[in-house]
Amino acid sequence: MRTRLTPLHLLAACAALVSVTPLLYLFVRTGSAGWADIWQILARPRTLELSVASLGLAAAVAGTCIALGVPLAWLLTRTAIPGGRLWLIVAALPLAVPSYVAAYTWLAAFPWLQGFAPAWAVLSLVSLPYVVLPVAAVLSQVDPAFDEVARTLGDGPLRSFRRTTAPLLWPAAAAGGLLSALYTLSDFGAVSLLRFDTFTRVIYTSYRAAFDRTSAAVLSLVLVLLALLFVVLERAMRSRHQQWRVGSGAARRAERVPLGPWRWPALLGVVGLFGLAVGFPMVVLVRLMVQSQRFEADPGSWLAATGNTVQAAGIGAVFAMLLALPIGVLAARHTDRVAKGVESAAFVSHALPGVVVGLSLVYLGLTVAPALYQTLAMLGFAYAVLFLSNAIGSIRSATAQVSRNVEEVARTLGDRPTRTWWRVTARLSAPGIIAGALLVLVTAMKELPATLMLRPTGFETLATEMWTFTTIGSFSQAAPYAFVLVLLAAIPAFALARLTGRRS
C-alpha cells in the first residue's frame, strides 16, 4: 500500500520541524565558525579529556545501576523479603530527588566532596530506578511456566534463571542502563555542584565566560551526538524488550522465593541503598529546613518563586502539548515512513541536554529573534523542546488505546477525520493526554540549566533560587526551595511507580 499523506502528516511535520529548530540552528551556528576553527576546538586535548570524563561517568553510572538494580529488582519482586510489594513504590522514590538537590544535600553534610567519585555515587543513586522499575516489571510479568518447564526439562534453578528469565530481563536492564547513562550525560546540576568537569559543566562555564562561544557550540554538538547514540541504542534495546513481552497477562504470578535466614541481610541491603538514595537527602533537607528558620523568614520571595515556576512550566507544558499533539496522534495511527520520521523528533528531543537547548536558544534569541530573548515564551519553548518526547509518548499511548474500530464507525456515520477525532478520539484519550500534560508541567518545574540561561532578568524560579543560594554556600537558605522541588518531583515518580505497579 502506498503512503497517503494526510493534512495530519503535514501538521505533524511542521511541529517536528519547529521542535528541532534549536538543534538545526546550533548546526548552522557552529558551521558558520568555519571548519578550521571547529577542527581546532575538536583537536584540543581538553576536548578528549572531557569526552573521557563524560563517557566514563556515564558508563560508571550505567554499570552501577545495572549491577545493583537487577539483583535489587529480583529481591523486590521474586523473594519473600519483608515489606513485599510496598518496596516497588519505594523503588521509584529516588526519581523524586533531582540530581542537583541530591548533590546539594551531600555537599551540605560533607562540604569537602568533589570530583568523579561523589558525582558517580550521587548520580547512580538517583538513576537507580531507571533499571529497577523496568526489570521489576519484567520479572513480575514473566510467566512462571517458562521456568517450570525449564525445570522439568532438567535445569537447576540457576541454570533455568540464566536460560529462561535472564534473556527476557537483559534488554530491559540494558535499556534502563542506557537511560541512566543518558541522564548522566545530560546532567548539569550535580556535576557542577560537585565540581567535576563534564561537557555540560564546561559548556555552561564557557557560555558564561562569554569569550568562547564557538567552543561552547562545538562541544554542545559533540554532546548531542553522543546523547543521540545512547538514545538510538536505548530504543533498539527497548524494542527488543517489547518484542519479548509475553502473553495476555493472564499468567499466574510466580511464587516468591523464601529467603530463610538471608532475609535480614537482604533487607539491610535494600534499606541501606534506599536510605542513601532517599532517606539521607530527606533527613539533611529537613535539618537544613529547621536551621533556615533561624534566618529571617521571607515567604514573599518563596511564594513568588513558586508562582514563577508554575507559570513558566505551565507555558512550557501548553507549548509541548501543542507541538506533540499532531506528532503523537500521527505516530499512534500511522506506520508509514513519514510518520516514523516525524516521530524521530521525539527521540532527538530526548537526546537534547538542557544546557544545549538553553545555549542554542540564547543564540537564536540574540541573532534571529531579539524580541523573544529572555521572555517567558522563549523559556516555555525551551521546556517544550526538552520534554517533547514525554508529551508525545503520553499522547501516543492515550490515542493508541482508543480502538480504531470506534473511529471507523464514526467515519461511516458521517464524520470527517477531524470531527471524528474531536467527537470520539479526543474524548476517550483526554485523561491520558491531561495526565501527560501534568507530567510535563512538574518535570519542567525542576529544570535547571535552560532556566538559568533563558529566564527573564529578575525572574526567579524555585530551581534558580536554590541554585543561587547553593553556589554561594548558603545551604540552609536554599533548603525551603529544595524541599518544594522534591515534593513536586515526587509526583511523576509516584506516577511511574503506579504504572509499574499496575503492570506487575
Residues that bind other proteins in the complex, under the rule CB under 8 A: 1-2, 4, 403, 405-406, 408-416, 423-424, 427-428
Instruction: Tell me the backbone φ, ψ of residue 472, rounded to 5 degrees.
Output: -95, 10
Q: How far apart are CA 214 and CA 236, in angstroms?
A: 33
Q: Which is nearer to other proteins, 2 or 502 (CB)?
A: 2
Q: Which is nearer to other proteins, 2 or 252 (CB)?
A: 2
- The minimum distance between CB 369 and other proteins, in angstroms, equals 40
* DSSP label of 38: H
Q: Which is nearer to other proteins, 15 or 410 (CB)?
A: 410
Q: Which is nearer to other proteins, 430 or 487 (CB)?
A: 430
Q: Which is nearer to other proteins, 167 or 431 (CB)?
A: 431
Q: Which is nearer to other proteins, 402 or 497 (CB)?
A: 402
- The minimum distance between CB 10 and other proteins, in angstroms, equals 18
* DSSP label of 44: S
DSSP 3-state assignment of 80?
coil
Q: Which is nearer to other proteins, 293 or 403 (CB)?
A: 403
Q: Which is nearer to other proteins, 159 or 423 (CB)?
A: 423
Integer Rg of the chain from CA? 24
- The minimum distance between CB 237 and other proteins, in angstroms, equals 26
- The minimum distance between CB 247 and other proteins, in angstroms, equals 20
- The minimum distance between CB 246 and other proteins, in angstroms, equals 23
Q: For residue 138, what is its C-alpha cell?
A: 519484567
CB burial of residue 495 (10 Å; 0-12, 13-18, 19+): middle
Q: Which is nearer to other proteins, 312 or 410 (CB)?
A: 410
Q: Which is nearer to other proteins, 1 or 36 (CB)?
A: 1
Dihedral sign for Cα atoms in the order 407, 408, 412, 415: positive
| DSSP state letters, 454-481 | HSPTT---HHHHHHHHHHTT-HHHHHHH
Report CA-CA distances (Å) from 299 to 224, 286, 296, 454, 474: 40, 17, 9, 25, 17
- The minimum distance between CB 141 and other proteins, in angstroms, equals 25
Q: How far apart are CA 143 and CA 98, in angstroms?
A: 35
Paired strand residues for 79: 257
Residue 477, C-beta contacts closer than 8 angstroms, at least 6 positions apart:
292, 295, 469
Q: For residue 396, what is its C-alpha cell?
A: 501516543
Q: How far apart are CA 376 and CA 307, in angstroms?
A: 13
DSSP 3-state assignment of 36?
helix
- CB under 8 A, 24+ apart: contacts of 27-35: 27/221, 29/217, 29/360, 29/363, 30/214, 30/217, 30/218, 30/220, 30/221, 33/214, 33/217, 33/218
Closest CA to 329 of 346, 311, 310, 308: 346
Instruction: Tell me the backbone φ, ψ of residue 79, rounded to 5 degrees.
Output: -120, 165
Q: Which helix (H) or strand (E) holds 197?
A: none
- The minimum distance between CB 6 and other proteins, in angstroms, equals 11
Q: Which is nearer to other proteins, 256 or 423 (CB)?
A: 423
